[in-house]
């Protein structure tokens, strides 16, 4: 029996949790759910990967009173995170088919969002800037709102969203529940809670950011040998996947190109890319059709990869708490992880700050760069793109059905299917990718033909 049944959750939610194998609440869920469900304000700090999203998603879905009218607003710092939260809510809402959850953020014409709001969602997720814009244009109406969620509050403050959040609050009705989630707990978050929340339940977990599951190692490497060091370490360790953090977009591009040239299946993720390319990079990393993702901290924020064995700092972050976030991307859900950092002589002061913040002494390891042995990480999967998505009423089952009809392709060779409004991404085992492409070009999906192509490599 599911431990989630200790709360009076709707049967549809319990069923969804059970069918997705989520039967044991994480510590933050255990600590917060009763009060979230009771409508109390909650201030919750727990490290990245601890299951904060599900904690508030269950509260929002349980609290819905009617299928229409915006009843909950979730503010997130980045578009990627907004998408991820939206997907997480939809996933647990699968058995509540009439509940619409929508994401709104910049980079997409406001007009598109205004039009989509004609059919009001029950739950709105978005970045503060765009949400404010939609309130101001009158497209987003929040009179029926019961719950405000501030997700990754620490990061929203870092990104300067406080004035936008403040302005959004001015347009909200008098009484609503405020749920505030944060991975860290600096004074600014405490102050935010003080001014926005009424007698909140405070939950502070893992104030100790060390994790026994994560092995952290530092390598002193001259700045001009970092690319070689990266090739050497990835080749030696052969991780299933790795997330490489850079401090700048330029570094991201250079490192990606360097790895691609060496034969790695790799993608870059940073703020200079078009939204579409950012989506694609995320999807390809999540469906394992790239083995290495090279990203800036902001772009990788909220990226949820449950089984990430290795994170890399190509350069140490300038702030210790950013480093802590990087390290927290691995070793999630009790799995083992490694966090490696390449440190040039100019970065030594940052090591000190990290040691202080994390309450540990850095473990240094030697790296022999006299000869570089190339062993590029190649993916076993490819990504196929279909130029049609949710707006075309496409569902994952339609795509799977078209591929596996008449046993053309073994269902096991079809991986993750990710649906966006106007595009869909399908992971395919390399051995069947070309066949799948031909198949979808010849035959149709639900009787309609769409443009399809494979992403290189
Ligand atoms: P956070 O927001 O705290 O960083 P997330 O909410 O993104 O963490 O959760 C991290 C991962 O843990 C997600 O993949 C989520 O599906 C998974 N997860 C959350 N709660 C549970 C649970 N009770 N049992 C199993 N997996 C869970
Ligand atoms: Mg989160």
Check pLDDT > 70 for residue 296: yes
Task: Determine the residue of 18, 53, 156, 286 to mutate for testing ligand 1's pocket, defined as the one with the most ligand atoms within 8 A of the Cβ atom.
Answer: 53
- Predicted local confidence at residue 338, as pLDDT: 92
Q: By the 8 A CB rule, do 69 and 122 touch?
A: yes
pLDDT classification of 444: cutoffs 50, 70, 90? confident
Do 281 and 348 lie in a common domain?
yes
Whether ligand 1 lies within 6 angstroms of the CB of 333 is answered as: yes
pLDDT digits (tens, 9 = 90+) for 321-380: 889 888 888 876 666 789 999 999 999 999 998 888 777 789 999 999 998 888 999 999
Q: Determine the Cα–Cα distance for residues 168 and 232; give it in Å rounded to an integer.
A: 49
Res 321: pLDDT: 82
Structural domain including 344 reads 214-358
Strands 42-45 and 101-104, by their bridges, are unpaired
Of the pLDDT bands very low, low, confident and very high (cuts 50, 70, 90), residue 231 is: very high
Q: Are 308 and 281 in contact (CB under 8 A)?
A: no
| Residue 34 is assigned to a structural domain of this protein | yes
Which residue has its alpha carbon closest to ligand 1 atom 15? 51
Over residues 380-388, the mean pLDDT reads: 95
- Under 8 Å between Cβ of 344 and 226: yes
């929002």: which residue's tokens? 60
Q: Tell me what percent of the residues of the chain surpass a pLDDT of 90.
A: 70
Q: Ligand 1: distance of its center to the CA of 190 in Å?
A: 24
Closest CA to 16 of 85, 84, 95, 89: 95
Distance 203 CA to ligand 2 centre (A): 15
The reported pLDDT for the residue numbered 342 is 97
Residue 53 Cβ inside 6 Å of ligand 1? The answer reads yes
- Higher-confidence residue: 215 or 164? 164
Q: Which residue has the tokens 């299917």?
A: 417
- For ligand 1, say whether the CB of 308 is within 6 Å of any of its atoms: no
With a 6 A CB cut-off, is 26 part of the ligand 1 pocket?
yes
**Shared-domain flag, residues 321 and 399:** no
Q: Say which range, 33-42, 109-118, 381-390, 441-450, has the weakest mean pLDDT.
A: 441-450
Tell me what pLDDT residue 244 has. Answer: 98
Please tell me whether residues 43 and 147 are part of one structural domain: yes
- pLDDT of 341 reads 97
Residues 274 and 414 in one domain: no
Same domain, 189 and 273: no
Ligand 2 center from residue 132 Cα (angstroms): 21
What's the gap in Å between 183 CA and the centre of ligand 1? 13
Q: Which residue has the higher pLDDT, 68 or 34?
A: 34
272 HSE (CA, 13 A, CB side): 9
Mean pLDDT of 70-80: 95
Residues 196 and 223 in one domain: no
The model's pLDDT over 9-32, given as tens digits with 9 standing for 90+, comes to 999 999 999 999 999 999 899 999
Residue among 42, 51, 82, 85 to mutate when testing ligand 1 (max atoms within 8 A of CB): 51
CB 443 within 8 A of CB 379: no
**Does a structural domain hold residue 367?**
no
Q: Among 365, 230, 244, 242, which Cα is nearest to 309's?
A: 242
Q: Are the beta carbons of 324 and 209 closer than 8 angstroms?
A: yes
147 lines ligand 1 (CB under 6 A): no
Q: What is the pLDDT of residues 238-292, one digit of tens each?
A: 999 999 999 999 999 999 999 999 999 999 999 888 888 999 999 999 999 999 9
Polymer length of the chain: 457
Residue 146 contacts residue 176 (beta carbons within 8 Å) = yes
Does 172 have pLDDT greater than 70?
yes
For residue 190, being part of any structural domain is answered with: yes
Task: Note whether 193 and 221 are same-domain residues.
Answer: no
Residue 302: CB within 6 Å of ligand 1?
no
Ligand 2 mean position, distance from CA 262 (Å):
34
Q: Is residue 371 part of a domain?
A: no
Q: Is residue 304 in contact with ligand 1, taking CB distance under 6 Å?
A: yes
pLDDT band at 208 (very low <50, low <70, confident <90, very high): very low
Return the CA Rg of the chain. Answer: 22
| Closest residue by CA, ligand 1 atom 12 | 51
Q: Report how many domains make up the chain.
A: 3
Name the β-bridge partners of 219: 342
Closest ligand 1 atom number to CA of residue 25: 23
Q: Which ligand number lies closest to the CA of residue 81?
A: 2
Q: Domain of 411: which CATH number?
A: 3.30.70.330
Q: Clarify whether residues 111 and 225 are in a common domain.
A: no
Position 139 pLDDT exceeds 60: yes
Our answer on whether the CB atom of 74 is closer than 6 Å to any ligand 1 atom is no
* Mean pLDDT computed over every residue of the chain: 91
Average pLDDT of the segment spanning 388-403 = 91
Say how far apart CA 36 and CA 158 lie, in whole Å.
26
How many beta carbons lie within 10 A of that of residue 42, not counting itself? 27
Sequential DSSP letters for 299-350: HHTT---TT--EEEESS--SSHHHHHHHHTTSSGGG--EEEEEEE-GGGHHH
Distance from the CA of 17 to the center of ligand 1, in angstroms? 12
Residue 334: predicted pLDDT:
61
Ligand 1 pocket residue status of 50, Cβ below 6 Å:
yes
**Which residues have CB under 8 Å from 226's CB, separation 6+?**
314, 315, 342, 344
Q: Specify the residue for token string 């578009």.
A: 79
Neighbours of ion ligand 2 (CB under 5 A): 52-53
Rounded mean pLDDT of 420-440?
Answer: 93
Ligand 1 mean position to 50 CA, how many Å?
6
Q: Where are the alpha helices (DSSP H) in 197-248?
A: 226-237
What gap in Å lies between CA 22 and CA 4, rounded to an integer? 9
Q: How far apart are CA 328 and CA 310, in angstroms?
A: 11
Q: Residue 319 and residue 236: Cα distance in Å, rounded?
A: 29
User: Residue 74 domain-assigned?
Assistant: yes
**Banded model confidence at residue 209, pLDDT cuts 50, 70, 90:** very low
Tell me, what CATH number does 250's domain have?
3.40.50.300
Give the pLDDT mean for 58-72: 91
Q: What is the pLDDT of residue 73?
A: 98
């Amino acid at each position: 029996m599911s431990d989630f049944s200790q709360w009076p959750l709707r049967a549809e939610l319990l069923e969804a949790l059970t069918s997705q194998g989520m039967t044991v609440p994480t510590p933050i869920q255990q600590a917060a759910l009763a009060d979230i469900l009771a409508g109390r304000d909650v201030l919750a700090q727990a490290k990245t990967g601890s299951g904060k999203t599900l904690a508030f998603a269950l509260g929002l879905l349980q609290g819905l009173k009617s299928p229409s009218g915006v009843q909950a607003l979730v503010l997130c710092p980045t578009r990627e995170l907004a998408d991820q939260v939206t997907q997480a809510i939809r996933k647990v809402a699968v058995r509540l088919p009439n509940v619409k959850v929508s994401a709104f953020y910049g980079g997409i014409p406001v007009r598109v969002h205004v039009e989509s709001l004609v059919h009001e969602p029950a739950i709105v997720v978005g970045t503060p800037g765009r949400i404010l814009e939609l309130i101001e244009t009158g497209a987003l109406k929040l009179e029926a709102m019961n719950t405000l969620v501030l997700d990754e509050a620490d990061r929203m403050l870092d990104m300067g969203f406080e004035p936008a959040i403040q302005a959004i609050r001015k347009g909200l009705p008098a009484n609503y529940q405020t749920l505030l989630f944060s991975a860290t707990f600096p004074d600014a978050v405490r102050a935010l809670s003080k001014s926005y929340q009424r007698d909140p339940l405070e939950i502070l977990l893992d104030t100790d950011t060390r994790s026994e599951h994560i092995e952290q190692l530092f390598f002193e490497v001259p700045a001009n040998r970092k690319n070689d060091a990266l090739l050497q370490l990835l080749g030696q360790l052969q991780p299933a996947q790795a997330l490489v953090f850079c401090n700048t977009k330029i570094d991201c591009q250079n490192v990606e190109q360097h790895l691609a040239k060496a034969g790695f299946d790799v993608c870059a993720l940073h703020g200079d890319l078009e939204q579409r390319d950012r989506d694609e990079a995320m999807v390809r990393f999540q469906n394992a059709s790239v083995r290495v993702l090279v990203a800036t901290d902001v772009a990788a924020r909220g990226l949820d990869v449950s089984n990430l064995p290795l994170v890399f700092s190509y350069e140490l972050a300038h702030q210790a708490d950013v480093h802590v976030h990087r390290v927290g991307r691995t070793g999630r859900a009790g799995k083992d992880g490694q966090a490696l950092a390449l440190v040039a002589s100019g970065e030594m002061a940052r090591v000190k700050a990290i040691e202080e913040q994390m309450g540990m002494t850095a473990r240094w390891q030697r790296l022999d760069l006299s000869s570089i042995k190339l062993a590029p990480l190649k993916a076993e999967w490819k990504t196929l793109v279909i130029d049609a998505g949710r707006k075309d009423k496409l569902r994952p089952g339609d795509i799977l059905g078209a591929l596996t009809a008449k046993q053309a392709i073994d269902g096991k060779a079809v991986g993750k299917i990710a649906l966006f409004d106007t595009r869909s991404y399908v992971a395919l085992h390399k051995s069947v990718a070309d066949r799948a492409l031909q198949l979808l070009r010849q035959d149709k999906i639900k009787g309609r033909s769409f443009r399809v192509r494979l992403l290189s490599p």
